[in-house]
Amino acid sequence: MNVSLILIILLVGAFATFLAGDKLASKVALLFGLAAAGASIVLLNHYNLGENISFINQWVTQPNISFALKADGLSLAMVLLTTVLTPIIIFSSFGNEFKNSKSFYALILFMSFAMAGTFLASDGLLYYIFWELSLIPIYFIALVWGNGDAEERKKAVVKFFIYTLAGSLFMLVAFVYLYQKAGSFLLEDLYKVNLSAAEQLWIFLAFFLAYAIKIPLIPFHTWQANVYQKAPTVGTMLLSGIMLKMGLYSVIRWQLPLAPMAAKEYMYIFIGLGIAGVIYGSIVALKQKDLKKLLAYSSLAHVGLIAAGSYTLTLDGLRGAVLQMIAHGFVVVGLFYIAEIIFRRYETRVIAEMGGIRSQTPKFTSMFLILVVASVALPSTFNFVGEFTVLYSLSQINIWFAILGGTTIILGAYYMLKMFQQAMLGETNTRIFTDVTSNEGITLVLIIAVLFFFGMYPKPIIDLITPSLEEILIQINRIN
């Protein structure tokens, strides 16, 4: 199977959605989103049969640039996350009305195309192009269809755009430098380049700046909460569920193998930054009154732990990080969808203005509670598998890293359950809260099913990603 088929489906789907017009746009987008998910599953089957799934075509002769795509276990896991969440996110939006919906849904598919391309690209410049392309649709989605005051929204979105673009330019400079050493942008050629310790440090920092802003890690997180709050819920889902995983994936795929000496030398510093994000995000989340902002800072805490696991340079750390990326993608999309469902009925995201919902909607309450406990890594849920593995890897480096990283579970349980209590319990609200519709119920049940299935049986994902991570570790531990 040609790996580029997934990208073709998503790109053609974006154009077809735009041409379908406003009335049919959402349905056409969902159809192509499901087609891309189906193609990803077929691709996974071919990979499991032992086929070498790659596509390389000379793009530009001078400089030497190739349209090179490669699907190994790691990239396939991230493509599956992208293509499975995309139709779920599209379907979740059916309860909303959007002006110029053909452009809105076309941008969603185009963003999915760019993100999938980022995960599949094995040429540095092609990877950079896809990385930057993903920024364009979310910029317009947040700017045009976002919430709140237009001027404030514009400031938040422009800040996000400038931050991420500026960070990416440092990564581009690093790629150009590596090209001069390797004579190629192909990942396998870049892996072979021998760099001095000083060169590796500068390459490492250039990539780190791009990834730390995208993930985000503190102190590069200042754009996150406002953009998550101002963007429409679909945009927030795309950002938190998939787009930030581009940065985490890239740490493992590009940064660590290209500059392993720097990664080992400064391991403690970057693990510390990740854990600082865990503590900072959790403490700030405790003070939030807006539901989307609380979830934004909660996400900051979780991705800090994922980054810390990645920088341990151990198989357990990398594997736990990837498992947690996927689990976090589903649970955070579910939680932001919960916030959207409440907003549809009460037209507020202020937690204090909710309350008493449980007595009116037992089904919704139950699903909300399941997502809350999944978020705080209750055993038998997918998040538990990833967080436990990451914490175990941190304990192998230093027990204090594991203890401090574990605060995400303790503090997370406190602020998430406190939020649930304020939003759902208490006296019955005078406003009527109708129970979930069939569309809302299907979306939430699908997400919950994934969280429980892989929480009880993570073996398929572990078996998929482990060989690729072992190869990356061999590259990291090579003798320079």
Cα(382)–Cα(363) distance, integer angstroms: 21
CA 222 centroid distance within chain: 18
- The model's pLDDT over 190-218, given as tens digits with 9 standing for 90+, comes to 999 988 999 999 999 999 999 999 888 88
- 266: how many CB neighbours lie within 10 A of its CB? 17
For the residues of 236-251, what is the DSSP string, one character each? HHHIIIIIHHHHHHHI
pLDDT band at 64 (very low <50, low <70, confident <90, very high): confident
- The model's pLDDT over 369-381, given as tens digits with 9 standing for 90+, comes to 999 999 998 999 9
What is the average pLDDT score of the chain?
A: 91
pLDDT at 479 over 70: no
Closest CA relative to residue 110, chosen from 143, 131, 133 = 133
pLDDT band at 360 (very low <50, low <70, confident <90, very high): confident
pLDDT at 440: 92
- 332: how many CB neighbours lie within 10 A of its CB? 27
Among 16-25, 43-52, 230-239, 448-457, the range scoring the smallest mean pLDDT is 43-52
For the residues of 197-209, what is the DSSP string, one character each? HHHHHHHHHHHHH
pLDDT at 428: 65
Sorted by sequence, the CB contacts under 8 Å of residue 468 that are 6+ apart come out as: 72, 73, 74, 75
pLDDT band at 364 (very low <50, low <70, confident <90, very high): very high
Q: Are 374 and 382 in contact (CB under 8 A)?
A: yes
Greater pLDDT, 118 or 354: 118
- pTM of the predicted model as reported, rounded to 2 decimal places: 0.94
Q: Is the peptide bond before 232 cis (omega within 30 degrees of 0)?
A: no
Classified as helix, coil or strand, 390 is helix
pLDDT at 169 over 60: yes
Q: Which residue has the tokens 């599953």?
A: 41
DSSP state of 351: G
- The model's pLDDT over 113-129, given as tens digits with 9 standing for 90+, comes to 999 999 999 999 999 99
pLDDT band at 409 (very low <50, low <70, confident <90, very high): confident
pLDDT at 320: 95
pLDDT at 1: 66
Q: Are 274 and 217 in contact (CB under 8 A)?
A: yes
Closest CA relative to residue 79, chosen from 21, 25, 139, 5 = 5
